[in-house]
Structure 1
Amino acid sequence: MARHDVKTLLVMRHATAAWAADGVDHHRPLAGHGHEEAAATGRWMTERGWIPDQIVCSDALRTRQTCVWIGEALGEKAPTPYLDPRLYGADATGALSIVNETEESTRSLLVIGHMPWVQGLGMRLMSADSDEDAALDMAQEYPPAGLQVFEVEKPWAELDGRDARLVSFITP
């Protein structure tokens, strides 16, 4: 496949969250330093030219707030995010099925969600030719606002495991 046919999949864990005043997990906001983490990850994406065509985000408050900070960093290039409530309670298989629904015209997709599926999805998708250091770092620990960057050479609908190259894993 020609280089111009390679798509980018970005998988991000929400930034550090505080406890919700009402005790409801879905309502947990970002902690003070969570805002800084999300902004740092967004700046890193912008500096490296990893600008998503599409953003799919869990509808939980902490992921929505993370998405706002990413959008701030992306500026005018930021696409309007799609809030998908299925990502809140998803496992890696459920999250992958949402990625599989992506229109083929999308060249770069950012998915913002939760542990443990963000790490599980990365472990499932990682091909044998992935960057070894990035793979080991991601497998060992996946801190808040961590971001996986994959190169994808097949249709979104056909991703099922060991078929995306992990090229980077960053943490703020």
Structure 2
Amino acid sequence: MSKTLLVLRHAEAGHSFSGDDHSRTLTEYGQTQARKIGQWLLQSRYWPEVTIVSSAMRTRQTSIWVAHELGEKAPTAQLDDRMYLGSSRQLCSVINETPETVDNLLVIAHMPGVQELSMELTSAESDEEASLEMASQWPPAGLARFDVTNAWAELDGRDAVLAEFVTTGLRG
């Protein structure tokens, strides 16, 4: 049976007045973007069983707005410091720790890690248009949906089928 991996870049964040990148918050547009992604997940029936989120404020807020739209379908987010500005390898190692009982996983992190990870995971069987779009740009609240047949622990490169790349169409 195929599992679903959802890789989401946080929604649009504002600038930090204190200079602390970790505490940047979502803009009003960002809140709307995150809600739109939550609506898409709900309507598409891609309800995550587990959501792993970078510990940064903007990713946590993205998770909150997505969960707001998912309502009772939303799992409690799991914060992971390794995902804060994590490399593709760091993000992949967090995904590799996912229990095999999980069929639908959502990870919310940052550029360039989300894009690099997704490019590394994309198999030759992936949707060509989605692959090209994902490779050329990854706006805030952009989401890659992968079909995964391997065990989470075995996921390491060119072994997930990119089924679609979703954006909110909002500025970013």
1:60 and 2:56 matched: yes
Runs of 4+ more than 2 Å apart: none
- In the other structure, the counterpart of 1:149 is 145
Amino acid at match of 2:90: G
Partner of 1:23: helix, strand, or coil? Answer: coil
Q: Secondary structure at the match of 1:52?
A: coil
* 1:82-161 alignment, distance < 5 Å: 82-161=78-157
- Matched residue pairs, number? 168
Deviation of the 1:23 alpha carbon? 1.4
Any conservation in 1 of the 2:85–2:113 contact (CA below 8 Å)? no
What letter matches 1:93 in structure 2?
Answer: R
1:70 corresponds to which residue? 66
CA deviation profile, 1:6-44 (whole Å, cap 9, x unmatched): 000000000000012311000000011000001001101
List per-residue Cα deviations over 1:35-64 (Å, max 9, x = no partner). Answer: 000100110111100000000000000000
Unmatched 5+ residue regions in structure 2? none
RMSD: 0.6
Q: Which amino acid aligns with 1:16?
A: E
Return the letter of the residue paired with 1:32.
E
Partner in structure 2 of residue 6 of structure 1 = 2
Three-state SS of the structure 2 residue aligned to 1:67 is helix
**1:94-124 CA deviation, whole Å, 9 max, x = no partner?**
1000000000000000000000000001000
2:108 match: secondary structure: strand
Following the alignment from structure 2 to structure 1, what is the Cα–Cα distance between the partners of residues 157 and 114? 14
SS in 2 for 1:160: coil
Write the distance in 2 (CA, Å) between the matches of 1:150 and 1:136: 15
Q: Following the alignment from structure 2 to structure 1, what is the Cα–Cα distance between the partners of residues 115 and 42?
A: 23
Partner Cα distance (1:112, 1:89) in 2: 11
Counterpart residue number, 1:16: 12
Cα distance in 2 for residues equivalent to 1:120 and 1:13: 12
Superposition deviation, residue 89 in structure 1:
3.0
The runs of 5 or more residues in structure 1 that have no matched partner are none
* Residue aligning to 1:80: 76
